[in-house]
Amino acid sequence: MLRGLSADIAHTWLSGEIQSHLWVVPAFQSVHILAIAALIFASFSANLAVLRSPHGARTMPWLAGSYRWTWTALAILLVSGVILITGEPKRSLMNFFFRLKVLLVIAAAVLTLILQRSLAGPMRGRLPHAALVVLAGISIAAWVGILFCGRFIAYFGDLSGGE
């Protein structure tokens, strides 16, 4: 299914335009990396605050700001990511590390939502401290995994069979 989708995207007008303008891919990759920098700092500072003191994190007034930055950066990552996929569909859709990255992004987004609602939202105080610490630790590991997958796409995991 993804093989067909990859071929269909490659034949669209937009994909052709992106491929014919050589500056588009590095330009959107730059935007992608800037969004990663914002996301990693915002997400890590929130998660590490939870790891240090789950009780203290609940009372930190800046935590809501961290999550706003995380979601804004994630939105920019998704938009720039879709443009990059449109420009090079086979490189991304037909790659093991890209697929793993997508799964990890979904997992990290769900974890962020749970932590946000538990620390500064409607579920405040419902999760025990130990659960918050475990979720924050998994969240950090997921974002690091996403970084590795993002870079490894360029080197490993080609599933296209040389087509």
Question: With left for phi above 0 and alpha for psi between -120 and 50, is residue 88 left, alpha or beta?
Answer: beta
Cβ closest to another protein, residue 60 vs residue 138: 60
Q: How far apart are CA 100 and CA 50, in angstroms?
A: 26
Cβ closest to another protein, residue 129 vs residue 151: 151
Cβ closest to another protein, residue 5 vs residue 145: 145
Cβ closest to another protein, residue 97 vs residue 135: 97
Question: Among residues 69, 78, 89, 73, which one has the least CA distance to residue 160?
Answer: 89
- Closest separation in Å from C-beta 42 to another protein: 7
CB of 111 closer than 8 Å to CB of 74: no
- Closest separation in Å from C-beta 23 to another protein: 8
Contacts with another protein, residue ranges (CB under 8 A): 22, 26, 29-30, 33-34, 36-42, 44-45, 61-62, 64-65, 69, 144, 147-148, 150-152, 154-156
Helix 129-152 crosses helix 96-120 at what angle (to 10 degrees)? 150
- Closest separation in Å from C-beta 161 to another protein: 20
CB of 82 closer than 8 Å to CB of 105: no
- Closest separation in Å from C-beta 155 to another protein: 5
